[in-house]
Amino acid sequence: MPIIGIMSFIRYKKFGQREYAYEVTSYWDSLAKRPRQKVRYLGVMNEKGKIIKKEHPLKERLILDFGDTYLLYEFMKKANLTSLLDTVFGKESKRLLSLICYRICHPSAMIYARICYEGNVARFFFKDVNLSSQRISDFLQLIGDEELQRDFFMSYISSFTKVEGSVIIDTTALPNQIHFPFSAWGYHDGEIDKQIRFLFVVDKKTGMPLFFRYLPGNIVDVTTLSVTIEELRKLGIAHSFVLVDAAFFSEDNVKDLYDKGIEFLTRLPSGRTLYRELIIEEGRNLERFEHAVRYGKRALFIKQKEVNLYGRRAYAYIVLDPERKGRETKRLLLDTMEEGENKEDIEYRLLKQGIMILISSFKVDKDEVVPYYYMRQSVEALFGFSKDDLRLIALRIHKEETLRGYLLLMFIALIVFLRLKEGIGRKYTVEEILLTMKNLKCKVYQDEIIVQELTRQQKEIVEKLNIIVPKKAGI
């Protein structure tokens, strides 16, 4: 492989109670057209700071999973997340880190955390951590303390986020069948379930989660917006724009946003009088070339109109998707021909097929309004990661403090998950790299851990994340 520009330096890494030296050689790979590094293990450092070679004792004690937890732990250290957790949670940060690694590597029920811990190098990275079911429950209750969580969000937002005035706010349901004050009957995805509402706030620019709230399952979304905005202000997020779904649309919320000087973009619910007026006034004249807009591989018709919104000037965007209109019209006609309905109602329903109406407090170019609104999909993706990849909805909790602690644990795990996803790029999924790294084992001797050889794919992963894997680690 052609290489040029070789440069070497010594890097020291501390594992357990020992410090190890590595020779790192940086070079330019002219074929791949990117910088690369080679790492060569030199030896362990003695008390005088000299490199010495030391053979490991012959007696082998254990073989453990190594690569997945090591990768996550080193990644969190490089991202300064471990220092944040140490500062906020003190001596309890070890238990928190061990549970974060468990939930990301093995998103199973908490009762299995101890089993995973015993067969993993985590038992040496996070020594003397009791992960029995009762101790985990006590721990979640501990980190569920409201003052401790405020400290975390203040530190996290001030040190790790750079909000430039725009946030996205959305909620999802966490269905469950537990007896708990916050678990109440609520409507979600066309069904009525016993649930808890989980509200997420995301930075519009970076897509990273900023804050969460939990609410009783029967709380309507429209009532939560004002309180959420005030809580964000207390945490130092003085945003100037919010992007919210139709569930948050109400006269009180709209007026509150205007009064606070916060610009907004939302979808107008179809049950509003303004929606019906706009459909009747504009629906028949939408399909004109002058209103045509390209959105990716789709063609839409969009018309902008200034409207009076509870006494304030706003802008409505009537968006017609021709493909969606065709599907919905066919289904509506077949249904109404069988059932028979009032002719005037049918005409109105035919008119609104394939249409959504967006409302903003400021003027947006009609070519940009749909992409702007669909930035909400970043929150939907976060809900997807939380529920599918991290198994958020496996709730077995009966105290409010424990719920707060569990949601905070999952929130931090999501931050790590998303940063790792961003760091690894598109070639691999997070699940794939962790499963690949899990196959990297280590052998435990009397006073040292010997790491087994990396495969080609494992080398590629750690190189991409700029993480050095040691050949030895002290216990």
Whichever domain contains 248, its CATH number is 3.90.350.10
Give 390-439 as a 3 state SS string: CCCCCCCCCCHHHHHHHHHHHHHHHHHHHHHHHHHCCCCCHHHHHHHHHC
161 and 270 fall within a common domain:
yes
- Amino acid sitting at position 413: A
Tell me, yes or no, whether 275 lies in a domain: yes
CA distance 67 to 386: 23
Question: CB under 8 Å to 398, separation ≥6 — which residues?
Answer: 178, 179, 180
Same structural domain for residues 49 and 171? Answer: no
Residue 241, domain extent: 150-320+352-389
Dist CA 397 CA 149 (whole Å): 18
Residue 316, H or E segment: strand 312-320
Question: What would the 3-class secondary structure string for 83-98 be?
Answer: HHHHHHHHHHHHHHHH
315 and 171 inside one domain: yes
The distance from CA 268 to its chain's CA centroid, rounded to whole angstroms, is 27
pLDDT in the model for residue 29: 73
Same domain, 155 and 41: no
Q: What is the pLDDT of residue 475?
A: 74
Model confidence, pTM: 0.77
Q: What is the mean pLDDT of each run of 10 residues along the chain (475 residues)?
A: 60 74 79 75 74 57 93 96 96 96 87 93 93 92 94 92 81 69 56 74 87 81 86 84 89 93 93 96 94 90 96 96 93 76 84 96 92 78 70 65 88 92 91 95 90 96 94 82
Establish if 469 belongs to a structural domain: no
Within a domain: residue 445?
no
- Based on the domain organization, do 33 and 170 belong to the same domain? no
Asked which of 364, 389, 414 is the last residue of a domain, the reply is: 389
Q: What is the DSSP string of 345-392?
A: HHHHHHHTTTEEEEEESS---TTTHHHHHGGGHHHHHHHHIIIIIS-T
Nearest partner of 433 among 107, 104, 117, judged by Cα: 104
Report yes or no on 218 lying in a domain: yes
* Planar angle of CA 320, 321, 327, nearest 5 degrees: 120
For residue 442, the tally of other CB atoms under 10 A from its CB is: 22
359 occurs within a structural domain: yes
**417: amino acid identity, one letter:** F
Specify if 129 maps to a domain.
no
User: Is there a domain that residue 443 lies in?
Assistant: no
Looking at the structure, tell me whether residues 159 and 41 fall in a common domain.
Answer: no
Residues 227 and 370 grouped into a single domain:
yes
- The pLDDT, as a whole number, for residue 162 is 78
Q: Is residue 164 part of a domain?
A: yes
Total domains, the chain? 2
Q: What token pair was written down for 178?
A: 């537990």
- Please tell me the number of Cα atoms within 13 Å of 265 on its side-chain side: 22
| Sign, Cα dihedral of 323, 329, 332, 337 | negative
pLDDT for the residue 193: 62
| Structure confidence at residue 392 (pLDDT) | 63
Contact 31, 1 (CB under 8 A): yes
